[in-house]
Every structure is written in C-alpha cells, then in structure tokens.
Amino acid sequence: MHIPDGFLDLPTATGAAVLAAGGVAVALRETRRRLEPRQVPLMALTATFVFVAQMLNFPVAAGTSGHLIGAALAAALVGPAAAVLVLTTVVVVQCLVFADGGLLALGANLLNMALLAPVAAWAAGLPLRRTLPGLAGRLAGATFGGWVAVVLAAAACAGELALAGAAPWRTVAPAMIGVHLLIGAGEGVITALVLAAIARARPELVTAAGAGSARRFLRTGVLVALALALFAAPFASSLPDGLEAVAERLGFAALEQPAALPAPAPDYALPGLASPLAATAAAGVLGALGMLGVALLLGRALARPREAGSA
Amino acid sequence: MAAVKALEVTGLSYRYPDGTPALDGVSFALAEGESVGLIGPNGAGKSTLLLHLNGLLPDVPPAEPAVRVLGQPLTRDRLPGVRREVGLLFQDPDDQLFCPTVREDVAFGPEQFGLAGPDLAAEVARCLATVGLAGYEDRLPHHLSRGEKRRVCLAGVLACRPRLLVFDEPTADLDPRGRRDLKALLAGLPVTKLIASHDLEMIAALCPRVVLLDQGRVVADGPAAELLADEPLMLAHGLERPPGLSRRHPPG
Amino acid sequence: MRPDFLDRHARLASPIHRLPTAVKAGAALLLLIALALVPPRQPWLFALVALLLVAVAGASRIPPRFLLGRLLLLEPLALGVAALAFLQPGGWRHFLLLVGRSTLALGVVLLLSQTTPFAALLRLLRRLRLPALLVTLLALMYRYLFVLADEAERLQRARASRTFSRRRGRDWRAIAAVAGRLFGRASERSERIYGAMCARGWRP
C-alpha cells in the first residue's frame, strides 16, 4: 500500500503532507502529556518490532503468503496516540532507508498507514472492547480494527491516487478496496493471533496499554475523519466529472485519443461499470458484518485458556 | 577511618514485583581505588545488585537508601549526580550502544551533562583512544565486532568520567583475543572497580578481593587468592576453582 | 540480514558522498518535484533527469550493478501501482509515463540513501527542528533493526527445527507465536535500553 514517487501530483502530495504533519503533531502532544520516560525506548522497539514482524510470512495458498501490516497491533499494544508515532517511525524508515514508499509521497503514506490506520483500528475496536470483557474483547477489537484499518487505508490510498489523476476513482476505488477487503481479513486474523500470543507469554503487556484515553482519542479520531472528509470532499462530491477535469488539467485527456494498443479495461467497456462503486460499498458493508462475526468468534476462542500440548 | 568509601552497601534487600526475593540483607563496601570481583552462580542476584548501584532499581528510591556512593546516599534528588559517578557496563553491549553512530554514542553521556562543540569532540576522541579505538567515530554499531562494541560501551561510560566502574560480565561472549584485550584495558583503568563475572581467571588476575553472592546473600568476602582457591566453597556455590590459580596458589 | 545490507556504499569517499546532507536532500526533493511537474507531452524531459542521475551515480563510485540491482528489487512496487493506468483509456502510454516517472524518482531516492548515512539524515532532521521525540524514535528504531531481525531469524530457526507437520492453521499460530515472543524480547530490551540511557544521565 506504499505509494511510490511518481504517482501523486504536487497539490495532492502537499495536501496530504500538511494533513499528516498536523496529525502527527496532535499525536505527539497527546503522547507527551502522559509520557513515562521508559515508554520512549518501548515505542522505538515496538516500531522495530512492527517492521520486523512485517517480514514474517504467513502462507496463504499456492505459494503466496500474506504478512502483518501492524497498525492495529501497534494500537492495541501502546494505545492510539503512541501507535501513530510508532507507525510514523516505521513508514519514515521504510522510505528513507529502504526507498519503500516515495519521499514526495511520504505525507500521503503517513496519512494512510501511520494516522488513519491505527486511529481507525483503535476506534473500530472500541465497541467490541466495551461489549466483550477482558482479553476476548481486546482480541475481537483488534481483529475488527485490523480489517477496518487496512480497508480505510486502501480507500484513502485510492482516493489520493484518483485525486492526483493517476487513475480514475470509479475504477481505482473498487480495485483497491476490493482487494483489501480480503487482505484486511487476513490482517485482522494475524493481528489477533499475534496479540493472543503476546498475551499468553506476557499478559501484562496486553492488558496495560491504551486504557483511560478513550474519550480524548475518540475526539481526535473524529477530527482526523473530518479533516479527511474535507480533503476528499471537493472531488468526491463532483464525481465523476471532477476527476475527469483533474485528468484533463494534467493532460491525461490528450492521451485518451486512440490508444495504439487495446487497454485491458477501458472505462466504457467494463460490464456493470455503472455500479462498481455501489458494489464495492455493498461488499464493504457485508465484509464489515462478516468481520464483526469473525472478530467475536476469534476473540472468544483465542482468549480461552489453551489446553496443554498445543503450540 | 575517616576515609570516605567509594561504595557502601548496607543491608540491601529487594524483591521482584512478583514477590520473589532477589537480595536479602546484602552488605559490603569498596575503598577508593579498590578492584573487587563479584562472583556467584546464575540467579544469585549479581545483576540485580549492580542495577541498585546507580539507582536503576528499585523503581521508587526508598526513604533510607541502602546504597551510598562516595558517601552520598542514593536518594531521588541525588540520583542524576550519582549516576554520573557510577559507570555501569551492561552485559549485552547492544543494550548499551543505542545511538546510530559510535561518535553519538560516546558523546551521549557528556552531552547530557552539558558538554558541546570542540570540547565534546575532544572528549569523544580521548575516550575512544583510551579503549584503543581511536578513529572509530563514524563507524556504525551494527558493523562492529562484539569486542569492539563492548569497548565502545566502555568509552561511552568513561566519557561520563565516573569514579566507580561497575561491570556485568565484561568478558562474556568474547573470543580469546577480545577477552585478552579487554582484560588489559580494565587492568589499566585507574578507578575503583566492581566486576561481576563467571570468568574467575579474569577476576583472579584483576581483583585482589572478591565478594561471593548466593541466593541474594553475601556468603563470603575476602582475598581473592584465598576464596577462589577454596575448592569446597567454590563447589558449594556452583563455581569452580579457576585452573590457572591452583598452580600459583597451592592450597594450604 | 547482512549488517551492511542497507548502507554498503554509504561511506565511500566520492565527491557526491562528501556533499553536505542538506544539499543532497534538497536536490533530491527538487528533482522529485520537477519530475512531478513534467507534463506528459514532454517526455524528453525525463531523459534529461535520467542523464543527470547517471552522471551522479557515476561520480558517486557506487558499483552500477549494485544500484541497478536495488532498482530492480524496488521496481515491482512501482509497476504494481502503475498497472492502475490500465484502468483508464490510453492505458499503455499512461502506464509508460507512470513507470518512467516513478523509476526515475526511485533512482533519486536510492542515490540519496546510498550516498548519505542515515545518521547524517537524522542530524539534518534534528537541525530542521523535527520534534526530538521523533528523532529519538527514528534513531533507536534504525539502531535496533538488525538486532531484532537477527532475533526473529533465531526464533524462526528454532521453530522450524521443531516443526514436523505442515498443517496450515497450526502454521499461522506458530508464526504468530514467533511474533509474540519477538515482541516480548523487544519490550525486555527496551527496558534494558532505558536503564542504559538513564545510567548515562538521560532525561526526556
């Protein structure tokens, strides 16, 4: 989900960077308010852990494998504000050290993966943590939160690409979100499994984090969501014309003239294209309901004390 | 007897948060300039004791501290000053070498104490030269060998200009050459030293006196030549008489 | 991971390596902005940037094979996103435009990271008044990448040596268990690092 350089235009990249900087500043202030000194190295090592855990492969099928993204896990371990800083650290190192994710696109990547993802994961898990007591609730919340985080980050990513004119919203959104409805399910399950494993080995690390900041952070989450909505509104409201205007301004319209080679998916030829956005939204709602069920079951099952002899 | 002790521990007890007793009435003292070995089996409480010596344990400094450094009790407000006097070298050099470059790591301590600019650079160069790593400023910690890492750690500790050096297993995981170099380095440092180690040969070579700790208590405190050669005592506490010793100090 | 995987050539003594970090980072950013501004109908401007990159790469004395290898390693990520171009008319030309632009941008960032030690970038960020807490987090994370990656490798090897079945569900649990233990170790290490920082007078 890292956007490389070369896909975002300057206005989008700059806008995202400004939003990301604001969000990180809020998280910094929130974290500093009740920062215990020993949390500084803990946050850094959590960032390192998230990075390294992303390299563990979970086999899926036919030689493919998935891996952890980690926003929901970080939020569950250190709380939402600290998780924003943890993920910021991860994304910046990935960009500067591994050239994974662009430098000009850093703001957008931070916005999607370091701000939106952990805050959404944490907020989405809140009702489940309230409903189910103890570890089961935390695991269920992390499962659902992991799914929501991935889907929302993918949607934001699609939005930025569309806004920048790299691809039209009504095709890029269903493509990105559709794939990530599935990837998100994997993320939710992996997050729960890892969190359960940590809870088994070191219960104090899972129960202690993130408590007592609920209302404050909900407010922050709402603010971030509002900012995002404001950011997205100009193009979302005038779809699809708005995007085509953007594309034209950038000169892509000129490229639409007779393509030398047939494009695999020209936008007027896709069957049922009138409604892929609606279909995606429907899939999203169904997915959310399904994931809620999975989260509740998984949370209950994993929180049960394990019988001896199992891994 | 008015001379101030470099380190004084009186009746120090500590329980882990889960209630397991770790230290039980530990008392001993170090005169200035002394080199003392701290020996004992695994789990005897050596590392826990060392963490008390610069106030990393207990989490909340007690009203009447059991530890005095250079005559100063380790109270909360004295902690920063005392930490400067006590240089602690940890077991795993990766824990202690936490900066991205050697220069920044060695500079970390003095920077906290307000040193900056050319003075800081000179101090870093001096400390690196002391540990035999002159010119290593721009090296990266993850490119160093284990012995080099440990010596950078020592340079970082020396840069705080401590008057008491405390070592936790300084020779662990070093190859023979790294161990030999480090031994020579320690022998040449003109400060009070407390060295916790299973490397009894090194203790015998560096420390005229040893304190034997087992199950959180001081079991013996005396001349190294005597205690280390006392085979029954060593065996009773999970240790061995260092082979090199028997030749130089025949039992008797 | 080999300890010099990231920065094998970041310490060469070429004229490019010797440039001040701020100059290099600023130039990289300007180049990226320029690339973003190249109009689609003037692709020859890409050739200009490409020429400049080749010249800088040559002056940096980093083996070209190494740079090309890294570029190829990262290229699939850009290709994947560029494939989105096929979702709209004019797919091929749009695709080539995006690939060209993103490959050149990748080259810019790659050259920056390979001629500038990360510690120097951190110093620059500190000079630019990035909040100290963030700089500390970045420095610590970078420092412990290899330490933790090694620990993960050891844990995985230990798991593999005791794994005899190939049941998928179990597999996921076992991998999650590795991650769980890794976090346990990471948090223990953070405690020891905290002790080491305090021991040398650190107060946040």
Model pLDDT for residues B115-151, shown as the tens digit of each residue: 999 999 999 999 999 999 999 999 999 889 989 999 9
3-state secondary structure of B6: coil
CA distance C133 to C137: 6
Q: Across residues C91-106, what is the average pLDDT?
A: 86
Interface of B with C in 98-117 (CB under 8 A): 98-101, 104, 108-109, 112-113
Instruction: Give the distance, in angstroms, between the CA of residue A50 and the centroid of all CA atoms in the same chain.
Output: 14
Mean pLDDT of all residues belonging to chain B: 90
Is pLDDT of A269 > 50? no
Any domain includes B176: yes
CATH topology of domain A10-300: Arp2/3 complex 21 kDa subunit ARPC3 (1.10.1760)
Instruction: Tell the residue number behind the tokens 């991998």, with chain if given.
Output: C175
The residue among A91, A104, A180 with the most chain C CBs within 10 A of its CB, best to mutate, is: A104
- Number of structural domains (chain B) is 1
Predicted confidence at residue A141, as pLDDT, reads: 94
CA distance A83 to A281: 28
Of B51, B96, B113, the CB nearest to C201: B113
Any C CB within 8 A of B156 CB: yes
What are the structural domain ranges in chain A? Answer: 10-300
Whether this model's ipTM surpasses 0.90 comes out as yes
CA distance A111 to chain C (A): 16
Predicted confidence at residue C158, as pLDDT, reads: 86
Any C CB within 8 A of B137 CB: no
**Residue of chain A with shortest Cα separation from C87:** A265
Q: What is the span of the domain harbouring residue B18?
A: 7-94+164-236
DSSP symbol at C166:
-
Give residue A66's pLDDT band: very low, low, confident or very high (50, 70, 90).
Answer: confident
| Distant-in-sequence, close-in-space partners of A35: CB < 8 Å, separation ≥ 6 | C133, C204
Give residue A219's pLDDT band: very low, low, confident or very high (50, 70, 90).
Answer: low
Any C CB within 8 A of B68 CB: no
Instruction: Spell out which residues of chain B touch residue C142, defining contact as CB-CB under 8 Å.
Output: 100
More confident residue, B246 or B14: B14
pLDDT by residue (tens digit) across C38-87?
A: 877 777 888 899 999 999 999 999 999 999 998 888 888 788 788 777 76
Any domain includes B184: yes
Give the closest residue to A188 by CA, choosing from A237, A244, A145. A145
Instruction: Give the distance, in angstroms, between the CA of residue C13 and the centroid of all CA atoms in the same chain.
Output: 21
Any C CB within 8 A of B94 CB: yes
Q: Which run of H or of E encompasses A246? A: helix A241-250
Task: Find the range with the poorest average confidence among A151-160, A209-218, B104-113, C135-144.
Answer: A209-218
Chain C touching partners, 3 or more CB pairs below 8 A = A, B
Q: Please indicate whether, in this complex, the C-beta atoms of B96 and C196 are within 8 angstroms of each other.
A: yes
Any domain includes B83: yes
Instruction: Spell out which residues of chain C touch residue B96, defining contact as CB-CB under 8 Å.
Output: 193, 196
The pTM is what? 0.86
Predicted confidence at residue A281, as pLDDT, reads: 79
Q: CATH no. for residue B31?
A: 3.40.50.300
Predicted confidence at residue C140, as pLDDT, reads: 96
CA atoms within 13 A on the CB side of C71: 21
Q: Please indicate whether, in this complex, the C-beta atoms of C193 and A171 are within 8 angstroms of each other.
A: no
**Residue of chain C with shortest Cα separation from A96:** C113
Instruction: Spell out which residues of chain B touch residue C3, defining contact as CB-CB under 8 Å.
Output: 140, 142-143
Chain C residues with CB within 8 Å of chain B CB: 3-4, 7, 11, 117-119, 122, 139-140, 142-144, 146-147, 189, 192-193, 195-203
CA distance A233 to chain C (A): 22
Instruction: Tell the residue number behind the tokens 């083996």, with chain if given.
Output: C63
Q: Across residues A269-296, what is the average pLDDT?
A: 74
Predicted confidence at residue A214, as pLDDT, reads: 53
The residue among B51, B98, B150 with the most chain C CBs within 10 A of its CB, best to mutate, is: B98
Predicted confidence at residue C167, as pLDDT, reads: 59
Q: What are phi and psi of B37, to 5 degrees?
A: -95, 140
pLDDT by residue (tens digit) across B192-224?
A: 999 999 999 999 999 999 999 999 999 999 999
